[in-house]
Structure 1
C-alpha cells in the first residue's frame, strides 16, 4: 500500500557547529509559533530555520519581494554559503526524542524520516483523522511553490507490532554516534542518525508496503503537498510518476512505540452571545444522556487530582470537565447515551460518535451553545490550549466564558477512526513532542 523511500536531504552543516549553536538554528513547527516566539527565534540565530518556514511579513512586501520569496532566497543562499548542505547519497534519518510528561515520567520516542508517495485519501493508503482549515493550506501552498521544498515533516503512524520495520532500521544505529545530539530550551533531547545502507532501505520499504499510514499531525501540510503535486503535474511537460513532487517528507513512528504519547488539547469558549452557564447545566442534567457531577470549585487548586478524576471517569464513559467561573461551577460530564442518540450529525461514523471530543463538539458546542461547525472551524467562539496549567490560567482571562478540560485520545481510538473513514474535530489529538523544523529539508 504505502511506498516509502530514502532521499538526499538538505541539512545544516552540523559538523562545523557545536551542540549549543545547532540547538539555535532549529525551531518548533510553524503552527505553534506566535509573534513573541517568532521574534525570539529571529534573535536566536541569523540562520534559524524559521526564516524559511515562517518568514516575517514586512510593510514593503510586494509580488517580487515577500515572505515567500525571501524564504527561497535564504535557503539557496545558505546552500551556496555552506551553512546548509545536500547529502551526497540517499538516507533514511532516524530521529529519537527524550522528554518528560507533566507528571515527570521520562519517555523515549523513536521514528524516522523518509519520503512517502502521495495518495488521495480515497485510495486508503494515507488515512486522516482530523478535519482541516482552509487558511493554513493557502499559506503553506504559497511557501511550497516559492521554495519547492518540504521544510518540515508530516507525522505518520504505522502498525508494526512485530517490529518488521523497526528491527532492521533501529538495529543499524546501535552503537553508532548520532550526527546530531542537542537539547532544546524545553528540556527535550533530540538525536539524529543518517542511515545510508541500501539493504536497510529496502527492508523498511518492504515492511511498509502492505500497511496504511495514519496522519498523526500535519493534515494541512499533507493536503498542501497534494495541491502542490497537482500544480506541478499541470505545468509539467510530460508525466513522471517518480518526480520529486509525487512524494512528501514524513516522520514515521510505530504506533506501538512505548514513547508515543498523546496529550489532551483543552477547549476555551468565548464570545458566545447570551451565554448562560446555569442554563447549560440545566440542559445537560435534563437531557437524559449525561451524568453530571459537581466537583466543587476548590478542586481547581489541585490539577493533579482533577486530572486523575477525569481520567478515571473516562475509563467508564466518554467524559470531560466543564469549568465556568461566572457560576463557580466545575462539572464532571459523562456521556451515558448511545451512539444512535439524536445529538450527532447524520454523517458522523459510529467510531467517531464514541469519542468525548465528538460528543463535546456536536452535542454541547453545536446543539446547546449554537457554535456550529462553520464557527468551530473559524474559531469564532473556540480557542485551544495545551497543558492543564495553561487551561486553568485561561479560565481567568477576560472574555473567556468556559474552559473544558479533556482527556487525551488513545492511539487505538485514532486508529479505529481512521480505518472507519471518519474524521474527528480539529485539535482532537496532540502528539507530544512536536518534530522540530530544521532537522532535514527535502528539495522538490
Structure 2
C-alpha cells in the first residue's frame, strides 16, 4: 500500500530574491564542472552549494563538501533566505516546454512525501540497476544535512485524473513560483496545497497504487540506507519519523504532458573496431534487417529522427552513424523474445525493448563491450540531445553513434511490474526536476 502525505517543505523566501531562477539548479547528476562554476557565480545562495558543493584538495572529515552544504543550509535558514512552511503541504508543479518539432507540452505533477518501502514489498518498483559510487556520495550528503535535497521521480496510475483535479482546486495562488530557465526555455510553476482534506483525499486515491521509479533509483536506495542508519541510532522506533519517508515528484502515467525522449549511444575506444565487419555481421544475422540510407541528410538531426521514428512504428529500430559509413544505417529487429541474442535471465518484457536488443545483441555480442564495461562507460557514453549525438559522429575519438527511439511509458510499466531491469540510460523523462523548489527536512 502506497502512503503519500504532505510535508513541511523548506523553500526559498521569494521576498528576498530579485530573480528566483538565479537560486535554482538542474539535478546534481547532470551538472559538469563548468556548469557548477556558472551556478556558483549566479547567486551566493544558489542551491548548487547544497546539492553539489565544490570539492577541495584540502577537504577533511570536519570540513568537506558535505559539511559545507550543511553550514550553508543552516545559515540560509537563520538569515531567512530559506524558510520552512509552518504546515504540511503538497506542492503542485507544472513544467511547460517545447519538443524538437516545436510542439508545446505541459507536464503536471506534485511534490509530496512517500513512505519508504523495500522493492520486495512491491509498492515501489524499479527498472534500472544502480551503482555503488553515486549512493555513497548521496548518503554522505544526507547524513550531513539530514534532508532530501532532490526528489525521486515516481509514476502512478490515475486514469480519471482525480489527483490533478484535487490539486488544481486547492492551489495557494498567492504563493506561486513562476520561473523560466534561460538555458532551455522551460517554464516551471509551483504552488503549495495546504488544505488537509485535499491532501487526505489524494492519499486515499493513491493508497492502492504501485509507484514506478521514473528517475532517481540511486537516490531512492540511498534514502532506504539513510532510513536504516537512522533506525539504528534511534533510541526507540518511531513509525512516522520523517526519515521513514522520502520527497518525491509524482506524475500520472495518463498525463498528456508526460514525455519520454531517447538517449543516444556513443561507442569509443573499442580495440580493432571495424564498421564494415559490424555491418556484415548485422546483414548475415537472421534477426536484423539493415538498410543503408542516403548520405544527403546525414547531418540533419530532425530528418534522421523522423526516419527512425517511422521505422520504430513497425519494429524495434535504431540508426547507426559512423565516419566509416557513407550514410546513416537503419537497423530493424525482425526476431522475437526467443532469439539467442539475449542473456538467459532477461525477462520477455525486457527483450522487447530497443535498448535491450541493442545492448545485448550488438553492443555486447558483436562489439564485445560487456555489461561491466557498459556500466563503467569504458567504451560507451550517452548523449541526450539529438543534435549533439549527430554531431558526435565527426569527433576523432568516436567510432559509432547509435540514435535511439524513446522507450514508451507502457513498456517501462511492463518492465517494472515484471521485476526486470533495463540497460542503463533506457529512459529519459523530460524535463528534469529543478533542485531548489522544495527541500524535505528529516
User: Would the aligned equivalents of 1:178 and 1:191 in 2 still touch at CA under 8 Å?
Assistant: no
Q: Does 1:66 align with 2:59?
A: no
User: Would the aligned equivalents of 1:9 and 1:442 in 2 still touch at CA under 8 Å?
Assistant: yes
The equivalences for 1:1-12 within 5 A come to 1-12=1-12
User: Would the aligned equivalents of 2:296 and 2:327 in 1 still touch at CA under 8 Å?
Assistant: no
Give the stretch that moved more between structures: 245-254 or 289-298.
289-298
Match of 1:265 in 2: 263
Match of 2:212, SS state, is: strand
Match of 2:291 in 1: 293
The equivalences for 1:101-120 within 5 A come to 101-120=99-118
1: distance between equivalents of 2:129 and 2:296?
36
**1:180 paired residue among 169, 177, 185:** 177
**1:371 paired residue among 369, 372, 377:** 369
Q: What's the TM-score once normalised by structure 2's chain length?
A: 0.98
Match of 2:13 in 1: 13
User: Would the aligned equivalents of 1:128 and 1:418 in 2 still touch at CA under 8 Å?
Assistant: yes
CA displacement 1:52-81 (0-9 Å, x = unmatched): 000001121111101011001000111011
| Structure 1 residue 338 displacement after superposition | 1.2
Match of 2:393 in 1: 395
Match of 1:234 in 2: 232
| Structure 1 residue 329 displacement after superposition | 4.6
Runs (4+) of structure 1 exceeding 4 A deviation are none
| Structure 1 residue 274 displacement after superposition | 1.1
CA displacement 1:354-381 (0-9 Å, x = unmatched): 0000001111011111111111111111
User: Would the aligned equivalents of 2:299 and 2:391 in 1 still touch at CA under 8 Å?
Assistant: no
**1:431 paired residue among 406, 429, 432:** 429
Unaligned runs of 5+ in 2: none
**1:283 paired residue among 281, 284, 290:** 281
1: distance between equivalents of 2:324 and 2:33?
31
Match of 2:24 in 1: 26
Match of 1:113, SS state, is: strand
Q: What's the TM-score once normalised by structure 1's chain length?
A: 0.98
| Structure 1 residue 319 displacement after superposition | 0.4
**Coordinate RMSD, CA, aligned:** 1.1
| Structure 1 residue 178 displacement after superposition | 4.8
Match of 1:107, SS state, is: strand
1: distance between equivalents of 2:227 and 2:327?
50
1: distance between equivalents of 2:228 and 2:22?
35
CA displacement 1:14-46 (0-9 Å, x = unmatched): 13323xx20000000001100110000000000
User: Would the aligned equivalents of 1:8 and 1:87 in 2 still touch at CA under 8 Å?
Assistant: yes
2: distance between equivalents of 1:177 and 1:259?
25
| Structure 1 residue 287 displacement after superposition | 1.2
Aligned residue-pair number: 441
Give the stretch that moved more between structures: 161-170 or 267-276.
161-170
Match of 1:322 in 2: 320
| Structure 1 residue 233 displacement after superposition | 1.3
Match of 1:414 in 2: 412
User: Would the aligned equivalents of 2:21 and 2:181 in 1 still touch at CA under 8 Å?
Assistant: yes
Match of 2:188, SS state, is: strand
Match of 2:298, SS state, is: helix
Match of 1:128 in 2: 126
Match of 1:78, SS state, is: helix
Match of 1:145 in 2: 143
| Structure 1 residue 166 displacement after superposition | 2.1
| Structure 1 residue 284 displacement after superposition | 0.7
Unaligned runs of 5+ in 1: none
User: Would the aligned equivalents of 2:268 and 2:400 in 1 still touch at CA under 8 Å?
Assistant: yes
CA displacement 1:251-284 (0-9 Å, x = unmatched): 0011111111111100000111111111111111
Match of 1:312, SS state, is: helix
User: Would the aligned equivalents of 1:10 and 1:87 in 2 still touch at CA under 8 Å?
Assistant: yes
User: Would the aligned equivalents of 2:323 and 2:399 in 1 still touch at CA under 8 Å?
Assistant: yes
